[in-house]
Amino acid sequence: MSLSTNNIWELAEMYLAGSLSQESFTQLKARLATDSAFATEFYEATDLIRSATDSGKHKRFKNMLRDIHREQEKKETGSKKATKHVIFTPEFWRTASIAAGVAILTSTITIWSLKPSMRKNESRYNMISREVKGLQIAQAQQLQKQQQLEKNLDTKTRKGFAPTSDVMRTGTGFALSNNGYFVTAYHVLHDENGYGDSVYIQNHDGQYFKASLVTFNAETDVAIMKVEKSGFRFGKGDLPYSFAPAKAALGSHIFTLGYPTEDISYSEGYISARNGYDGNGMQYTLELPVGYGESGSPLIDSKGNVLGLLTAVGSQAEEKTYAVSAKAIMELLHKLPDEKSIKLPKASHIGRMNREQQISKMEAYTFAVKVYKK
Amino acid sequence: MQSQFNIEQQLLAALAAGDRAATEQIYSQNYHIISGWLQKNGGTSADAADLFQEAMVVLFGKAQDEEFRLTCSIGTYLFAISKHLWYKKLQKQHREPVPLHENKGDDDEDTGIAYEDDINTHKEREAHYEQLDAALDQLGEPCRSILRAYYHHDKSMQEIAASFGYTNPENAKTQKYKCLARLRKIFYAGMD
């Protein structure tokens, strides 16, 4: 027989995924009809795979429910005026399109490293992304309106240029040196949906600046970019923070600034494990509440040292946040031929300030990174 | 109400795929109604959390069926399932004899039976998954962890190959098939 494989499990998998060729499918049916021992084995295999797949899906769903319940309880005890309706934020598009066939992701972030493989369930993926579209339209229109407003505002009051195409992904970035070099998470620029057409940063004043990729390491999830405008400066003085030379201690208190929405947002927590996801030594594990759009946000200790950048959030029941260590940024920098044009800050200027002052000093150097696609 | 209807369908489709935003939305729109009702009917807030989550799992199971998604009103369904689950639980505990079809108004005999069917299917499925988990537990390593990573945690074969030290995804896949064959022996042996 000319079935594409002799392994009954592989055959069962392909059969369930609908990926058998027409010819193999016909062959399989013929054999199932004539060979009863084979048929018994094959149906047991498909039943088992189906059960295991469904059972996993249910487990992930239950974990997510427990997680949502905890979160909502927290929200309610935290603030009485908590809204009861969760609105689909623009960030949802991204989740939805990737999430689709795969419950794991559904959860909190889309971590490149935790990302489930989409190929596993491609047909489902397509189906869902189409179905969610209806919900997107209203959001897209709203966003367009907003962009139009921003654009109008721009032409009136600013010299900056506002991109007109649709936002594909957003993240956060922060300055490496005042002359335009900055760092963000690589998965903000590129994931399963590919690269966008252009990348802009939008600073805390709302101004847009076009940026281009200088170098990246997809494995560590670090990308170094540069604002294209000549003579560009992030802020007036030197960078307020410095980069930590060594890995920080377990329990260190840390904070971050990022752009989960159009507004900059502050969050604080602590280092809960020395290594990151799956024991990754280039990462930290954090107890730090973050949202979509905060990928690439700086991880800063109380003395104003950058310890790394946020990359991912664990899914489902675990609420861990992961950050790439500053070491990965340094390694990437050292590989640059024009390393010298990036003058890293030597000392932190905000070590003795209180948190409010630290934040206000940092705002100019932390910005949204927006990826556009026509 | 056409638009409302459409959104419900989309929400259910997203729920069926395990989408978090959709699940959160359904959760926040319905939890308080059911929790309020339950606490008027002898339940605690901890009961409410358990009950509502179980009702959500029933809905999740049903939402896998596209035809169901076309006709379902999420709020009505969740409420009805929660009520039935709660009455069942009370009956089991013999706290008090409760007629299952209390509200004739919104819950006539036919649909009442339909909800019962859904709950029974749900219970059978849960029992089936438990058997499967028990069989998985009997597997040795690395099989147990590989199958868990693939099916429970939805890891790709690339990720599994990397974290279990296989030189490439193909090798990991071959190992996975061997593990499935072992699982089948244990699982179907346990059925007799």
A253/A353 same-domain check = yes
Task: Please give the Cα distance from B139 to B137 (Å, whole number).
Answer: 5
A211/A360 same-domain check = yes
- For every residue of chain B, which 3-state class applies, written as one string? CHHHHHHHHHHHHHHHCCCHHHHHHHHHHHHHHHHHHHHHCCCCHHHHHHHHHHHHHHHHHHHCCHHHHHHCCHHHHHHHHHHHHHHHHHHHHCCCCCCCCCCCCCCCHHHHHHHHHHHHHHHHHHHHHHHHHHHHHHCCCCHHHHHHHHHHCCCCHHHHHHHHCCCCHHHHHHHHHHHHHHHHHHHHHHHC
B9: closest chain A residue by CA: A131
Q: Residue A106 and residue B155: Cβ atoms within 8 Å?
A: no
Six-digit token pair at A254?
Answer: 């840390």
Which among A81, A106, A128 is the end of a domain?
Answer: A81
Residue from the list A52, A60, A92 with its beta carbon closest to the beta carbon of B21: A92
For A29-70, the pLDDT digits (tens) are 888 889 888 888 898 899 999 999 999 999 999 999 998 888
Which among A26, A57, A81 is the end of a domain?
Answer: A81
Name every chain B residue with its beta carbon within 8 A of the beta carbon of A131.
10, 13-14
Instruction: Kindly give the interhelix angle for A122-131 and A90-99, rounded to the nearest 10 degrees.
Output: 150
Disruptive mutation site among A86, A104, A121 for chain B (greatest number of B CBs within 10 Å): A86
Q: Residue B152 and residue A58: Cβ atoms within 8 Å?
A: no
B23: closest chain A residue by CA: A65
Range in A136-140, A170-174, A355-359, B188-192 with the lowest mean pLDDT: A136-140
pLDDT at residue A80 greater than cutoff 80: no
Disruptive mutation site among A64, A93, A115 for chain B (greatest number of B CBs within 10 Å): A64
Disruptive mutation site among B5, B9, B11, B19 for chain A (greatest number of A CBs within 10 Å): B19
Range in A146-160, A211-225, A227-241 with the lowest mean pLDDT: A146-160
Task: Please give the Cα distance from A141 to A124 (Å, whole number).
Answer: 26
Residue A114, in any domain of the structure: no
pLDDT at residue B140 greater than cutoff 80: yes
Q: Is the Cβ–Cβ distance between A316 and A67 less than 8 Å?
A: yes
Q: Is the Cβ–Cβ distance between A252 and A301 less than 8 Å?
A: yes
Q: Residue B154 and residue A95: Cβ atoms within 8 Å?
A: no
Disruptive mutation site among A41, A47, A57 for chain B (greatest number of B CBs within 10 Å): A57
What letter represents residue A285's amino acid?
T
Name every chain B residue with its beta carbon within 8 A of the beta carbon of A260.
none
A84: closest chain B residue by CA: B28
Six-digit token pair at B59?
Answer: 């809905």
A132: closest chain B residue by CA: B10
Q: Residue B154 and residue A134: Cβ atoms within 8 Å?
A: no
Q: Residue A88 and residue B6: Cβ atoms within 8 Å?
A: no
Which among A61, A81, A101 is the end of a domain?
Answer: A81
Q: How many domains does chain A have?
A: 2
Determine the average pLDDT of the residues in B154-170.
Answer: 88
Cβ neighbours of A346 (radius 10 Å): 9
pLDDT at residue B190 greater than cutoff 60: no
Q: Residue A85 and residue B25: Cβ atoms within 8 Å?
A: yes
B189: closest chain A residue by CA: A44
Name every chain A residue with its beta carbon within 8 A of the beta carbon of B23.
61, 64-65, 68, 106
- Closest by Cα among B59, B49, B47 to A69: B49
What is the reported pLDDT for A323? 92
Range in A259-273, A329-343, B147-161 with the lowest mean pLDDT: A329-343
For chain A, how many residues are written? 374
The domain that contains A232 carries what CATH number?
2.40.10.120
What is the reported pLDDT for A312? 82
What is the reported pLDDT for A369? 92
Give residues with Cβ within 8 angstroms of A315, minimum separation 6.
A104, A105, A106, A107, A108, A109, A111, A114
CA distance A201 to chain B (A): 27
CA distance A93 to chain B (A): 10
For A308-356, the pLDDT digits (tens) are 999 887 765 557 888 999 999 998 888 887 766 788 888 888 988 899 9
What mean pLDDT, rounded, does chain B reach? 82
Q: Is the Cβ–Cβ distance between A282 and A295 less than 8 Å?
A: no
A120: closest chain B residue by CA: B156
What is the reported pLDDT for A126? 23
Q: Long-range pairs for A166-169 at CB < 8 Å and ≥24 separation? A: A166/A140, A166/A372, A166/A373, A166/A374, A167/A90, A167/A143, A167/A370, A167/A371, A167/A372, A168/A94, A168/A193, A168/A196, A168/A371, A168/A372, A168/A373, A169/A94, A169/A193, A169/A196, A169/A370, A169/A371
Determine the average pLDDT of the residues in B132-160.
Answer: 89
What is the reported pLDDT for A195? 78
Disruptive mutation site among A11, A131, A139 for chain B (greatest number of B CBs within 10 Å): A131
Determine the average pLDDT of the residues in A364-370.
Answer: 92
Six-digit token pair at B84?
Answer: 């039935």
Q: Is the Cβ–Cβ distance between B177 and A7 less than 8 Å?
A: yes
A224/A335 same-domain check = yes
Furthest-apart CA atoms within chain B: distance in Å: 64
Q: Residue B28 and residue A72: Cβ atoms within 8 Å?
A: yes
Name every chain A residue with its beta carbon within 8 A of the beta carbon of B147.
52
Domain segments of chain B as ranges: 2-124, 139-191
B128: closest chain A residue by CA: A51
Task: Please give the Cα distance from A105 to A114 (Å, whole number).
Answer: 8
Q: Residue B60 and residue A61: Cβ atoms within 8 Å?
A: yes
Given the DSSP bridges, would you call strands A208-217 and A198-202 parallel, antiparallel or unpaired?
A: antiparallel
Instruction: Report percent pLDDT > 90 for chain B.
Output: 21
A92: closest chain B residue by CA: B21
Give the ipTM of the model, two decimals please: 0.86
Task: Please give the Cα distance from B46 to B82 (Å, whole number).
Answer: 14
Gyration radius from chain A CA atoms: 24
Name every chain B residue with its beta carbon within 8 A of the beta carbon of A92.
21
**Confidence grade of residue A109 (pLDDT, cut at 50, 70, 90):** very low
Six-digit token pair at A132?
Answer: 């969610």
- Sign of the Cα torsion A84, A86, A87, A90 reads positive
Given the DSSP bridges, would you call strands A242-243 and A198-202 parallel, antiparallel or unpaired?
A: unpaired
Residue from the list A45, A104, A120 with its beta carbon closest to the beta carbon of B184: A45
A342/A222 same-domain check = yes
Residue span of the structural domain in which A5 resides: 1-81
